[in-house]
Amino acid sequence: MSGSLADFGTMEWMLIAVAFVSATLSGISGAGGGTILIGAIYAAGMPPIVAVPLHASVQMVSNASRVVAYLSHVRWSAALVFGLGALPAPFVVAPLVSMVNPDYVRLLMAGFILWTLLPRASRAVTLSDRVAMGTAGVLNGGVGAVVGATGLLIGPFFLRPTWRKETTIGTLALCQSLGHAFKLTAFATIGFQVLDQAWLMAGMTVGVIAGTALGRGLHHFVQEEAFRPLFKGVLVLLAVKLLWDAGRRLLGA
């Protein structure tokens, strides 16, 4: 990977652009940007051992900015339960990630993206707050250490009947930040050096912060009916790209 801005090639600049665009989309819709970003990172050919911690570094900053914005609405008790559920799994899963064929992870990521697009009746809101947060934490810790992004997977658990929109956004952002911090710590314990990607991480972080600001500004000007099909279309294209790349390599084409 590039050691400085001067060494950046097409892939690095494209990832920074995707970070900006995905954060803009997430700022408009409230979710999904992380899934687009990790899909793009995998599509760029990065192995999971690099893709997951890089994504975690960038998204931790993105989520932390939302925590600051909605700090007064955060449910700290819910975040504590989430953290207890999320903490163990990354340390169990991270050592195994380097042994997994990246193409199988790409297939898993493609399937995960397509699954999030299926219409389904979520039962998460019928669970008690404690059970919902604990379940979301376990899913985040286990699945997140392999595929990277879990926002669309755990999001329904944060749609609590008694929570306002601001509470959901702030608490989800805090929990996601915790999940990313746990992943980074877990990967650091097995020798991954996050600072090896410092310049790319910095560029993508700037892109994410700028995209979040733009997305919030555009939120009221974008019609939901027009945005949703476009957003889903981007995810489908990413999934198809991942399926194509993985299938071609696994079949020996």
Are 54 and 40 in contact by the 8 Å Cβ rule? The answer is no
Comparing CA positions, the residue from 200, 238, 234, 237 lying closest to residue 24 is 234
Rounded to an integer, the average pLDDT of 28-36 is 72
Structure tokens at 234: 């981007």
H or E segment and range at residue 112? helix 102-116
Residue-number span of the structural domain to which 111 is assigned: 5-250
**Angle value at C-alpha 58, between 39 and 233, nearest 5 degrees:** 30
* Token pair for 232: 């889903």
Q: What pLDDT, on the 0 to 100 scale, is given for residue 133?
A: 96
Question: Span 44-61, mean pLDDT?
Answer: 85
Considering its fold, how many domains does the chain have in total?
1
pLDDT digits (tens, 9 = 90+) for 64-76: 877 887 889 999 9
Distance CA 212, CA 208 (A): 6
Q: What is the DSSP string of 37-102?
A: HHHHHHHTT--HHHHHHHHHHHHHHHHHHHHHHTGGG--HHHHHHHHHHHSHHHHHHHHHHTTS-H
Whose CA is closest to 20, among 4, 3, 5, 40?
A: 40
pLDDT in tens, 92-102: 988 887 787 87
pLDDT for the residue 93: 87
Task: Give me the sign of the Cα torsion angle 137, 143, 148, 154.
Answer: negative
Whole-angstrom CA distances from 239 to 43, 115, 219, 226 are: 9, 10, 26, 21
The residue behind tokens 């889903």 is: 232
